[in-house]
Amino acid sequence: MLVSPRALIFFAVGWLALTAAFAGDGSWKFQIESRGHPELRYVENDKAVFYVGCGRAFGLHAVYPGAPKKEGEKATITIATARTRMDFKGEIESPYEDDPPNTTHFVQWDLGFRRQDPELFGAKWKRLEYRFLDLLDSGRPLRISAERRSYELPAVNVPGWKKRFKDIC
């Protein structure tokens, strides 16, 4: 398969721009919000690049690294370390107030389980939740990818966040 030089340049410039966009002074933050729900987020320039929280639902939000999509379109992201990877099927939502500018907002609810699924929050769901939390708490950088595009977040460095998160969820 031949790829035009123009396509290679376009891909390289896009990849560098996305990498540069998330290579700044970000930090991981864990908090218990006003209703008592835990939130882990990676924030850069006061904008949330990545978020996981639970309350009435278990929410995963991330800047979508793939090509821009329209609200309601289905999308999949992969979150990976050097040793582990997990795929998350979700959809594109309209931008949130704290999203970085010119980005697409990915969301997945309840780790992909339907609200009516009797397994939601059951043993199978809990195993998936713990696997995901272990991935986040691996001490390794996280690569968020979709459609051959990606960005990297530093390892989560908030002491004790996982235990507090699990105790509440």
Q: Give me the tens of pLDDT residue by residue for the chain, a chain 169 residues long.
A: 444 444 333 333 343 344 444 445 899 999 999 999 999 999 999 999 999 999 889 999 999 999 999 999 999 999 999 999 999 999 999 989 999 999 999 999 999 999 999 999 999 999 999 999 999 999 999 999 999 999 999 999 999 999 999 999 8
pTM, entire model: 0.83
H-type helices in the chain, by residue range?
Answer: 5-21, 123-136, 161-168
CB count within 10 Å of CB 134 equals: 12
State the pLDDT at residue 169. Answer: 86
Tokens describing residue 79:
């979150």
